[in-house]
Structure 1
């Protein structure tokens, strides 16, 4: 069975096309397929299907859609997992990206064939006929991916002498996308090589006039540089110039990252101004490994050499730009580089002016460290890695690297530890990957420990990693250690950021909203502190006003020394705010309900209407319950009031959540304390059922 999304959504079993139902039902399937095996939560599906106006029966409708799809596709195709659903199936989108990744690593002739095969998967507008903002956003994303693939294919067309063949296709695309400057550059170069320089100049002139007329701007630096290439004669590099080959070896067990490799390949082969690609992400996510794979793949396009420098940006003493330039100039044949940053930077740019060199700057600290190391020639390219997003790099292609998906994580584990061992213990492999939170460094370390200990089972190591208190100690192998990697970033934090980082790890909640963060940090600068941590890739912001810590970063933050009383007070402030918010919600949703008698709202959110209550519960329920559980385990507060809070939540959410585990925890704590009133309350909740369908 396979599915097609690059056109109307279709499901095929052999040659038979399956009936996938209504547009909304096909939209549900498309959302699961585009997640590529990752879990899609029920609330997320509701947002995809109805955006801001879901019906009250939305959850039931989603379940009906999934039930009908399973009836057509087979029950095993769509899996129910904790918190949502997943569907790992063959799609033309996956095939498209797989071929692009292969092309990014292939010689130019083979890459040309692979890119054509990838583009042959397209049958028209992707997700054609599917309604809604989410589907439109995916159409835009996929269409952009197709245009990038076309641009990469034009690179190979021009590199293999097919300039005359592609002029017609390029002309049509340029007419459809007249302000897409990479296409303009391709068309200009194809025309020039076909002996039609005047027409190439005409393309530039028309584009310049269009930009001025429609946007009131001049041509970008990229387009202006492409124009200079059209009117200038190419100069060969000096025959005696040294050709540095400084790239470190790439790991043989590299896995996954196909979309990122495709993006980097297209960026490094770009025409126009100096191509720059910047990879950012948290420590241990695999930035250097990815960059080296991309650099080795692109090396054939830079015959005059490849320069590499580890700038040490995450450490206490990063390399100065002067020192990096001295190293580069030595490699380029200058035995005695001049003194001074400006003099060295000028000589560096002059040396590379007529050469095609790839410069890889690993582990950059900030923009000030990078800017003096940029060549001036558009024939060169620069690839940068950094823990911070270098947003000020004009014209750069940015790749924000996240953790591995499940298939990539399993492939890495198998590549290092051995496929047979992983296949023999599939559940233990999943547990181990989960304990590593899909972080490549952690998975590599765990796999290396298994490889060095043939007698260990995956289950034994997974059990050792299950204990949060010893997890970081277990994730060490030789010179590799997750804790040391995280420490490089944490040790550079200013005191206010370090405090915020530690306090954000106090709740067990997977995600926190800004009002929750404000209660935790107890400072008017809470949002600013969070955004600064996001910029440093020590915190994630999946959408504005929402924050979450990577699981291993949470473990690391909790391992840092801190005042236990400060942490408890932070958690209690948050719990008090959440309790007040729930009281406010139940008074609005069920006025006069006896469960709120005698409960003061205190601090907490005030709601203007039921829609606000529903939206808040959709984003905050997990945080409310996890913080409540923590408060119960902490042994603080009135247990009967905590039972009332669970009772209120059950009234508000009806059958959408199972509260039994939380009530059982409350009962166990009440028994431990000898609190008979709380025991009676908890038993009554269990007796009547704290879930409407129970």
Structure 2
């Protein structure tokens, strides 16, 4: 069966890697049969829906929905993929994929699913955006497109409803275990087993035609014993391929005679394969459900089992041949969701809790070290890389920055899931904090803070969860400040203000002067953004007093400037002049010539507002000299324009023209010239 790939990675590949937006051609090698179901689904696309009866509507108000229902292991995802390939030409704007349930059975957050689809379309996803906002953005992005959405393993109709485009030219293909009540105008295509001929063909793909041809009746019997279910056939076929001397008839008899224990054909097929494995491989298999999001690579398996990376890779390839895992892309393997309920009881009964916790800790520690190596490849070069990675095993290093970035992109779904699981576990909080911190740094280095903001928002929330649970006030303050900054950047100023106030309380509880001062200044900035200049000035004054008490000169100069700006907007020109004069003096003591020039520029502006043009002219000329020393051409030009305006008011148009001419020469063909002038008029 075709392996279900990671949602985020798949969406990007289908639409971003292919300019024409079409799904790549090709077929799933082991997909057989289901011709009747495919035909019915194709016909169902064009049928008249219940809401178009009697000709009341020419088109449905929403996308056409097709539901493929079947038990895990019935091949529902493979059938959906085969259908999508057949209709791809009718939907030239491409394929989007998302999975709504993890292999362990946990539902994926609707917000995460919406982000996956939006990222696949190349649309921005504001950090911290609410589900309704993301759903509306998705519908807007899909308006006017002819695209296919493959929504895999849906269990909640309300979650599906949030993903549906209001565009009748789109097609949504759902897979689920049963009918999804609550979604109107959907007739499920219920899957049973394959027909006998197709089931035998699937076995032949695994073991070759010779053993089938010499005993076709036994092959038919084996298909019946497997209930003609694709997942069972994959397991049994893989076992037969690994045991070339085993006959089809003996295998059919062995499966038939197995005590059922209420497992059904899938349980018997799994037991056949599992019991044939050597003890170390059995233990590795039992530990695989601990892999986040069911995504496994050689490092994950190596850390879980406590073996070498090479040995883990060999075992995973063996498992893939046996149908226990599925081959993904970029060296990844995926644990089929239908096998997790069979493997997890073995983990719980055969492994001691302490050993399970140790395996999970090894996996998290390995991930932390890989994230450190990934971060170093982006942040350092040459000798610095070797120095920073000294003592790191070669297997945990990346050859270059590109390979590190590729690893981060392809593993991001499992890395995010690992962080969430580690935080939820509660027993490995130290490792969880290190993992989240490492992931934040790696994302910031490779993508930049702005591009990584949607992912960083979720990670900061995880840090906040741990900090609140463990009463770590310093970490709590840092997480709240980071979240509030992202809220402020996306226009949620009131939410940011609440978080800045909470960060102030946490900073005071931790006796952390940096967090306390930063929170005070940020509260003032939030009030400033809301236009409440009096409260902004009050909070900037508190932050300034805090900085003065600590003797932080750079913070003092900056806060004097922010205070002066708030006073200016509040119309308190005298207070504003005193603040900017103090800021200029602070920058002079710091030998910060550009800062001093800008402070004097603001003083000149306020003097002009206050009706003191001669003083403004003198201050502005002093600021021009400083800007010239600093080499800031844009500031020089802005000050020349201000000088010209002041001279106009003083009745000297000739001198004003000279200064405007000087400003034009400084700006040249700079397209921001008008912006500079308007910003300083």
Same fold, judged at TM 0.5 (above): no
Q: Normalising to structure 1: TM-score of the pair?
A: 0.37
Q: Normalising to structure 2: TM-score of the pair?
A: 0.37
| Structure with max Cα Rg | 2
